[in-house]
Structure 1
Amino acid sequence: MLLAFWMLPPSSPAQADDPLSDEETAAIAAEAYYYAYPMVLMDVTRQIGTNCATPDPANMAAPMNQFANAPAFPDATFTDVVRANADTLYSTLWFDVSQEPLVIHVPDSNGRYYLLPMLDMWSDVFASPGKRTTGDGEQTLAIVGPHWSGDLPQDVEMIRAPTSVGWIIGRTQTNGKADFANVHQFQAGLKAVPLSKWGQDYVPPQGKVDPRVSHDPPVEQVARMDAAEFFGRFLALTKANPPHANDYPVLARMKRIGLEPGKSFDFAAASPEVKAALSKASATCHEKLTSGLVSAGTRVNSWSMVLPPIGTYGTDYYRRALIAYGGLGANVVEDAIYPVAYMDADGQLFDSGAKYVLHFAKDEIPPANAFWSLTMYNDQQAFADNPLDRYALGDRDNLAFADDGSLTLYIQRESPGKDKESNWLPTPKSGGFSMNLRLYWPKPAALDGNWLPPSVTQR
């Protein structure tokens, strides 16, 4: 349930009247940056992903309220979303339910694993229909806005979105390129129709194309924003996308430096102290997200185990910003976990020119109800170009196991030899790299700490 910004009680007179020190102003400005970051990043991502007249599956773009169904895995040229996966085919949709609900029809998946996590503009997952939660049968859902009231057709399940705008990042299990055609059949059955058109022949309208929209990676675009653009854009977005009910304490603090969701912000009219603090926050907080990503989570062997909160964050705004920076659209842990490695067993950052191995004993194979994979990323958090066009390895590949049930993966730039190429994950041509283990629908052992991934070691 949401508390609209215009219903929030005012700050107490003591809070409003007490002058802020420079240190307090700086602290509030930094907190405001982290609080706002996911929404600004979401909006930049939305602009890129909807800037087309008709669905553009190759670039995972479609007009608002229309699905873009990926026909194939992304390749090394895809940079619109950081840390994309090569395990599933995406079906994404940016929705706007400010005028009326959007009805989503999901076909029977015939046992295939899929999920349709729905994110509000704060990047929190508010619903995750799919095989784990709602089963694999045919179903019809209606996304309604935060204040909508009305009647839905029979057998249509209502899902209330905390914000009027949001993002569905559907993922459907894909067992290699040979499985694409089967997944395409499921994707073709995903339909999005405004409630007023439900049950009728419906042709989606064409979207509007703005040639001014940059297609630079969203994290880079946000990093380039100065304080006036960043905070101005954020507050403009909150007019249609209200804060969460438990955000009141941070909203009260932000109000003391002139930042009020639902109201416009004139940076030029702010005091010199506030302008300086907001400018410093815009310049330094993004850098802290970059450095914080490397040290995020609990480090186990080579891996950072980023466990809850993820997907939903409560009032941990720094964490929410950090996850958005590192991989916007992260699932809740019940759907997937993503142990990430930036360094080897000796604590040295990965170097694409070195040779590494990841050895799983038989009882260390990642425990997942659906499937698992290991994905390679370059130092820009994108896929690394390589001769095999291979960006991930996992349990759906033709891996070679040892007689004792163990598994060794070879992580290096050059081939480890023909006899080992089935287990080879190529590194980038230069620079550093990082890797994600992905466990979809993880088993309890992966969530309660009874399973831990082994270290990555140099050969």
Structure 2
Amino acid sequence: MNFLSLLLAVLGSSASLAAPTTSAQNATVDALVYALPLAPYVSFANTGSVVNASNDFVTNTFAHATTLANASFRTVVLPNTDTLYSAALLDLSAGDVVVTMPDRELGRFYVLPFYDLYGNNVCSIGTVTNSTAGKYLIQYRPSNAACDLIPDAGDEYAGTISLPTVYGQILLRIEVFNSSDVDDIVSTIQPHFTLTSLNTPSAGAPPLTSALLNDNLAVDNPSLHLLQLLSRVASFNPAEEASDAEHVAATLEAAGISASSQSYTQPPDLDLASAYTTALNLVQQVPSNPANLLPLGSSAPITWSTTLPSLSGDFHTRYDLRAYISISNAYPPTQLHASHLDPPCFYANQTYMVEFSGKPDVRGFWSLTVYDGEGFLIPNALNRYSLGDRANLTYSDGTPVYDGNGNGAGGDSKAFYMLLQSTDVEVATEWESNWLPTPADGAKFIFILRFYGPTLSLTDGTYEYPKVTAVDANPPLPISE
């Protein structure tokens, strides 16, 4: 079991809230909440990056996926199945980096988001915000994140992205129209997204290496592992908000983290196990806090909601929300680009019918994707993991909802249906096009509804969100009106 799996296993277990009793105890709780996003970053670096002949990270270079995510994909949890990923580890320790963005193909959606070490989406360029082709400068500005998408005076750069941490990452997503479209993206689009390191003054930080993130850390103790890891990187990867940097530094010092020696020493009388339990409970309470959510409609057994736009993607000083999002929904872009709607877990020994009131109105694309209880795609004979505007969805009379390329993505109020049913049960002919396989043997599953380029209708109450109903296997297909 890797460290992230161990962490998620602990998060998923029950834990009683323990009251901290000392200032070191309080500081350690805060330090652990602050450090939790490091776990998915390390997992991403270890599984999603390219390595060289010495089995070390290759930084500031895109690793382009050449196939869509499937049931064997483990680079990130809750992956998209309708975009091709291109991932890069950013290391600004040796100086600035330039990202080149090619001309956008008309009608194709993509988003190029830049994340700091702790999972904050500091900047995104692409179809919605800024599709200007050219070079963008990526620089390290400690505790001063910025996303300046205005060309510089000499027109050398179309914009400047200032990361508040010396390490970060990029997770480019390019829309795929259909399965035959993949080869074209791989050969004609991906190669034109490039990263180039510049010979600029060093940031004074060590290079981003596998040894830095992995060597000589506690393996079987997640709390100790996190604090040791944070001690190595905190001094040159400070808090995003300059106004909070001094407070965070003092908190980490009180927790036993030395900025000068990049080491961790457990304070005397600290109950580390209790501090970790408290930290996890604080993070687990985030999704149940209505102050964090924008309600979008309710239809038993679910209530549709998404993270408030002000808290979406870039979390500033909300370290509890940052931790929850980072470990449960790795690296979402800001809500301007994507709105993720997360219902609770369901069970595969129950069939569910999802009724859409009409086509969601989006500027990009949308999809509903099913995952197992760990956030990975579900094996099935059709290799079908999601349905949306580029699928062969049909109305009840058999006519297509879309043309297979996502055309006609909004404005139609005619109802259509999806069936979430276990791979243990043979699906009825009339449901074949609209069937999403759920796990065999009664295992838990979740599903996520994603909108890329959501319009106002999806957040202002105009659009009626899907109704999810528990039904018998292969129920009669409702008649669309």
Q: CA deviation at 1:83?
A: 0.6
Superposition deviation, residue 187 in structure 1 = 0.5
Decide which of 410, 422, 435 is 2:433's aligned counterpart.
422
User: Aligned to 2:347, what secondary structure does the other structure show?
Assistant: coil
User: What is the TM-score normalised by the length of structure 1?
Assistant: 0.79
Local SS of the residue matching 1:438: strand
Alignment counterpart, residue 400 of structure 1, candidates 394, 407, 415: 394
Match of 1:271 in 2: 268
Pair 1:194-2:203 in alignment = no
Does residue 410 of structure 1 match 2:419? yes
CA contact (8 A) 1:35 1:317 kept: yes
Matched, 1:130 2:126: yes
Matched-pair contact (CA < 8 Å) for 2:32–2:223:
no
Equivalent residue runs for 1:144-183 within 5 Å: 144-146=139-141, 154-156=155-157, 157-183=159-185
SS in 1 for 2:189: helix
**Aligned residues, how many?**
404
The amino acid of 1:358's aligned partner reads V
Give the whole-Å Cα distance in 2 for the aligned partners of 1:440 and 1:188. Answer: 23
SS at match of 1:399: coil
> Displacement of 1:411 after TM fit?
0.4
After superposition, where does 1:332-371 map in structure 2 within 5 Å? 332-342=334-344, 349-362=345-358, 365-371=359-365
- CA displacement, residues 332-362 of structure 1 (integer Å, 9 cap, x when unaligned): 11010000112xxxxxx51111110000123
Change (3 A) 1:439 1:251: same
Give the CA deviation at 1:283: 4.4
Distance in 2 separating the partners of 1:262 and 1:442 = 46
Change (3 A) 1:51 1:350: same
CA separation in 2, counterparts of 1:262 and 1:162? Answer: 19
**Is contact 1:297–1:304 with CA below 8 Å preserved after alignment?**
no
In the other structure, the counterpart of 1:115 is: 111
Question: Cα 1:165–1:455, aligned 2, differ >3 Å: closer, same or farther?
Answer: same
- Whole-angstrom distance in 1 between the partners of 2:36 and 2:209: 26
SS of residue paired to 1:239? helix
Contact 2:38–2:226 (CA<8 Å) still a contact in 1?
A: no
Aligned match of 1:240 in 216, 236, 243? 236
Unmatched segments (≥5 aa) in structure 1: 1-19, 198-206, 215-220, 343-348
TM-score (norm 2): 0.76
Further displaced range: 27-36 or 63-72 = 27-36
- Corresponding position of 1:305: 305
Paired position in structure 1 for 2:4:
none
Residue 26 of structure 1: how far off its partner (Å): 3.9
- Between the aligned partners of 1:284 and 1:234, the Cα distance in structure 2 is 18
CA distance in 2, matches of 1:424, 1:392: 9
CA distance in 1, matches of 2:163, 2:196: 16
Structure with a larger share of its residues in helix? 1
1:337 alignment partner, SS class? strand
- For 2:263 and 2:221, the matched residues in 1 are separated by 15
Instruction: Decide which of 448, 460, 463 is 1:436's aligned counterpart.
Output: 448
d(CA) in 2 for partners of 1:171, 1:398: 22
Over the aligned positions, Cα root-mean-square deviation in angstroms equals: 3.2
How far residue 306 of structure 1 moved from its aligned partner, in angstroms, is 2.3
3-state SS of the aligned residue for 2:164?
Answer: coil
Task: Return the letter of the residue paired with 1:93.
Answer: A
What one-letter code is carried by the residue in structure 2 that aligns with 1:193?
T
Segments of 5+ residues of structure 2 without an aligned counterpart are 1-18, 145-151, 201-207, 398-412, 472-481
Q: Deviations over 1:391-423 (max 9, x none)?
A: 110011111024682110000113431221110
Residue 213 of structure 1: how far off its partner (Å): 6.4
Question: Which residue identity is paired with 1:407?
Answer: F
Deviations 1:13-35 (A, max 9, x none): xxxxxxx9716554433222111
Q: Which structure has more strand as a fraction of its residues?
A: 2
Q: CA deviation at 1:163?
A: 1.2
